[in-house]
Chains A and B, each alone.
Chain A
Amino acid sequence: MASSLLHQTTQCFFFNNQLKGLSHGFLWRPPCSSFGSSHAENRARPIRASVDTPPFPLFQPPKQQESASELEPADPDFYKIGYVRSMRAYGVEFKEGPDGFGVYASKDVEPLRRARVIMEIPLELMLTISKKLPWMFFPDIIPIGHPIFDIINSTNPETDWDLRLACLLLYAFDVEDNFWQLYGDFLPSADECTSLLLASEDELSELQDPDLASTMRNQQQRALEFWEKNWHNSAPLKIKRLARDPRRFMWAVGIAQSRCINMQTRIGALTQDANMLIPYADMLNHSFEPNCSLHWRFKDRMLEVLINAGEQIKRGDEMTINYMSGQKNEMLMQRYGFSSPVNPWDVIKFSGNAQIHLDSFLSVFNISGLPEEYYHNNFLANDGDTFVDGAVVAAARTLPTWSDKDVPPIPSAERMAVKELQEECRQMLGQYATTSKQDEKLLDSMPNAPRTLEAAIKYRLHRKLFIEKVIRALEIYQDKILF
C-alpha cells in the first residue's frame, strides 16, 4: 500500500548518464528547428519530458519561441529569501510557466570535465528526517516538545516516510521565522498540485488504469486514516491548526511524496539515509536524459546541484534531473503525479509467443548499449532521424525478443511476429475507452481543467501514444529488416 522507496543516489545518475553524456553531446535532442517541421502527421511529443515539480507536465511546445514567451521570470523574492540565507544559484534563474516552475540556464555553459555547481542550498533550509531511528531532524527544526513529535514517532520508519515529512512540513509552516513559511508560498497550492492524492473518484476513473486507480485509492485512504487518527477532535490546538482539514493534509502528503529527495547524507562522520525536502532543488523538473544531478557536500553541509560533466548547455536550457530511473509511467504517476510518453522504462505486457529478433531491432533504430542503458546512438544514425526516442527504447525493452548469438533471424518469421505484436498492441488500444486523438481533443477543450484531471487524462494519453509508437516502430522495423 505504501509507495516504494526509491533511492536517488548520485552513482546511479552518473552511471546512467555518463555513457550518454560523454560520448554524445546531444542525446535524443533533435535540432529544434527540424523538430516541429518533420513528421507533421506525427504530433509526437518531445523526447525530453521535462516535468515540473510539483507534478506538472511541461511539454515542449512545437515551436521554441512559444516556450520562451510563456516563461516568465519567477518572483524575485523567490531567490531573495534563499539568498539571504546563504543559498546560491550560479548562472541559472527560476522561471515560471503555465505548468509551474522550472530552472533555466541564464548563460551558455561549455562542456566541462568537471561537474559545475549551479545551485547550492545549505542544510538550514531543508526539512530532513532520517529514515532510521533515532530520528534525526536537521537542522534544528526539532519538534521535540511539540505534540507533532509524538505523531512522527508513532509512524513506521519503513513505510510512512511521506507522512512523516508531511507532518514536518506542516509543522514548519507553523514555526515562526522558518524559511518554509516563506517558501511555502511558492509551492503549488492544493489546486495546482497534480498529485493524485487530491484527485476525486471521477478523476481516478479517468485514468483508465484500474491498478493505478486502486493504488491511489489506497494511498488516499491511508493518508486520510492517518489524519483522522491524529487530528481527531480532541487533538491539541497545536496539532489542529497545522491541518484544519484533511485536504490540507493530503496536499502536504502529496508535496512530500513528489518533492522528497532521498539522499545519503554524511554529517560529520555519520552517514544516514535521509528524506529531505530541499527548497530550490525541488523546482528542478524531471527528464530522462537529465543534465543535472544532486550532490551532497558534507564539508559545509550543502546540497549542490551540479551540471553533469560534458553537458553542453545553451542559454535558456532547462535544468533537469532524473527523479526516478527505471520505473514505468505508473510509478511516476503515483509518486510524482506526472507521466511521460517517452519513458524509456515503460512496460507493455505482451501475451503470446511472438518474438522479434533483438539485435536487428536494435540495429534498425541504432540503439546501442546494454539492456539497462539503451540509448540512441547518434553517430550511427543519420542526424535527421528523429523518430527514435525514449518510447522506442522502451519498446526495445518491453517487446518480447529473442537473441541467440549468431543465429540470424528468419525474415518471414520476423514479419509474422511483428504482425502479431502489432495486432496485440491494437487490441490493447482498442480496450481503452477513448483513443489518443479523442484524449487530445478533450485536453484542448478544457483549458481550465483541474490539474488532477488534466494529469489523469494525460496519463492515459501518454500510454496510448506509447503503444501507438510501438506499433509504428514495429512497422518501421518490418520495412528495414536487412537481409
Chain B
Amino acid sequence: MASNSIHSNLLPKSPFNHFQTSSYLVGSFPAGILQVRVGFSNSRRVPSYSCIKCEKKDEYNIEHVSVERPPYYSYMDSTSGQLEPASGARASVPEQEYWPEGTASQVRAARAPAPGGESSSSPSYGSKPGSRRKNYRVAAASSSTIDVGSSDPAPSDEASLEESIEDTQDSSSEFVVYQSEPEEEETGYDLDKKLGNPHPFIDPRVKKKIEGTLPDEELWWNWKKPEKEQWSRWQRRKPDADTVFLKAMAETGQVKLYGEHPTLTETSLYRARRHLYKEERLQAEEDRLEEVGPIAYYSEWVKAWRGDTSREAIQKHFEETGEDETAQLIEMFSHQTDREYRIMMGTDVRIKRDPLAMRMKEEQIKQIWGGDPVYPTVNYIQDPNEVIDYRGPDFHEPTPNMLSYLMEHGHIITRDELNSILAKEKPEQHEVTDVDEAMAKAVDIGENDDEEDSDVEDEEEDGEEEEEKISRNWSVLKSTPELRQSKAKAKKEGPMSLDEAIDDSENLTDFLMDFEEEQE
C-alpha cells in the first residue's frame, strides 16, 4: 500500500510498544496533513510565521543507548589494524615529483605564512597617495618641517613574521644541549626492526592474543562442509522471507506453529494476520488523530508545549488572536527540539528499536537480507571440489536412450525393417522377355552419334522391358556400370509424351517397331 510506505518512517512512542512483532508502524498521517507537514518542515527552517523560540536545550543526560549495528561504512581492516572505509580506501598521496602541474605552486602559496603585525596608519583610499610611507610629508607644508631621519620610528613589534621566526631559530642555538643517556643495544626483534631484517609485525614479547577471535570452526575463511548430507544443494529449503520471519517468530514464542518449520498455509495465515494487525493499528492512530485533533496529537512529541491542546482551547485561541489551527500548530512545532523531531519522524538512530528483525538469529537474517559483503557468511563458502548441481527440484529422469525412445514412438525403424518395407514395395514383375544376352551386355562405344541414337533407340525398344526391370533394381545397376548408360537414356525417353515423341522423331516410321527387321 502506498500509505504504508509514506508512513513507514514514522515511529510513535506509542502504547503499542508491546506489540513487538514487527517494525510496522502505527502512527499514520492522513495524506492531507502529510502535505502540510512537508510544508512545515520547510517553514521550520525558514520560519515565516515565527522565529524559532525554543530555548530549551536538549537534555545533556541522554542515556546512550547501544545503537544498532552501525551502517556498514567502515570496518577494521585485517591488514593494517586500522579503521578503514568499506567503499574504497584512499590511495596514498604521492610525492611532490608526482604532483600535477601547478600543484606545487599552489601548495607553496597556501603554506606561506600570513603576515602579522599591526599597522599604525590607516588607508586613505586613493586620496593621499604615499600617506603610509615612512617619509610622508604633508603636501602643503614646507619640506623643512619634518626631518627625513626623524620619521616616526616603527615600533619594533611590527617586525614581520619571518624575522621573528629567524630570531627564534637563531636564539635556540644558544641553549645548551644535554647529552641523553646512552641507549642500550637492541637485540632480537628490536634489532631486526632497526636493521630492516624480516621480522613479525608485532613484537612477540608483547603480542597478545586478539580477543574475540572465533574458534577455527567459525572463522569465515575456514572451509566447512554443509551439515546435512545431501546429494544436491537444492534439497535445502529455500528461505522465503515470510517463512523465515515466521520461524523467527515461532522461536521467540510469539506464534505457535504446528511443526518445526512453518508450512505455506501457516505462512500465509500469519502474514495475513500481521497485515490486519498493522491495518488496525494504523486505523486506530488515525482515529485518534481525528478525535483529538492535530495539535493534541502531535503535542506528544513536543514536550515543551505546556498549553492546553484541547479543541476548545484552540478555538478560544483562534477567536482571540485569529491564528487558526495551522498557525498554532506551527507555533507549537517551533518549540520542538531536534531530538524530538527525529524521534517523531522515526529517524533517530539512538532510539532502540526492537523489531523482530534485529532479534533474529544471524542465520535467519542472512537468509533474508544476505550476509556481510566483506566478511561473508560461512555458508558462502564454496567447496572447491564440489560438483555444482544445477538440477532443480522438479528434476526429471535422466535422458533416456534416444534410440529406443524413438523406436518406441515409431520415429525410427531398424534397417532390417526398412529393407523389408522396401522389399515389399518392389515394382510389378513383368515377364522376362528373351534377353539377348549379347545385346544386353553390348557396350555402346558411341562411334556414330547421329545414327546411334536411333540404333540405341531400337536397341532400347527391344530391351526396354528388360531394362525397366533392371532400372528398378538399382542395386544391380550400381554394380554393372555398362547398364547405367542405357538406363539413363531409357529414362530419358521413357516418360516422353506422345507429342514430344512425334517431335523428336525423324519420321513417323520411327515409332514402328521392328521396322528395319520387317523390311528385312
Contact = CB atoms under 8 A, between A and B. Distances in A.
B139 A191 contact: yes
Contact of B105 (A101, A120, A188, A251): A120
Nearest to A453: B143
Interface string B128-169: 111111111101000110011100011000111011001000
Contact of A73 (B130, B144, B158): B158
A185 B135 CA distance: 12
Nearest to A82: B115
Contacts of A191: 130, 137, 139, 143
A447 B147 contact: yes
Contacts of B132: 75, 77-78, 185-186
Given A90-B112, A450-B143, A173 B136 contact: no
Contacts of B114: 83
A73 B159 contact: yes
Interface in B153-190: 153-154, 158-160, 162-163, 166
Contact of A192 (B108, B133, B153, B162): B133
Task: Report whether over half of chain B's contact residues are helix, strand or loop; otherwise say mixed.
Answer: loop
Given A106-B162, A188-B130, A98 B123 contact: no
A314 B129 CA distance: 33
Interface in A294-346: 297, 299-300, 315
B133 A107 contact: no
A258 B197 CA distance: 67
Interface in B427-470: none
Interface string A69-90: 0001101111110010010111
A187 interface: yes
Contacts of A93: 160, 162-163
Interface stretch (A7-15, A30-38, A176-184, A272-280): A176-184
Nearest to B119: A77
Contacts of B128: 185, 189
A414 interface: no
A93 B164 CA distance: 12
Interface string B289-324: 000000000000000000000000000000000000
A190 interface: yes
Q: Which 7 A-B pairs have the closest CB atoms?
A: A189-B130, A173-B126, A76-B117, A77-B119, A185-B132, A184-B129, A181-B126
21 contacts: A75-B121, A75-B132, A77-B132, A83-B114, A86-B109, A93-B160, A96-B134, A100-B135, A106-B162, A173-B127, A173-B129, A178-B126, A185-B123, A185-B131, A186-B130, A190-B129, A191-B139, A192-B135, A300-B102, A315-B166, A450-B143
Interface of A: 72-73, 75-80, 83, 86, 88-91, 93, 96, 98, 100-101, 106-107, 117, 120, 172-174, 178, 180-182, 184-192, 251, 297, 299-300, 315, 447-450
Given A120-B105, A173-B127, 20 more contacts: A73-B159, A75-B154, A78-B132, A79-B160, A80-B115, A88-B108, A88-B112, A90-B112, A93-B162, A98-B148, A106-B162, A181-B123, A185-B124, A186-B132, A189-B133, A190-B130, A192-B133, A192-B137, A251-B129, A447-B148
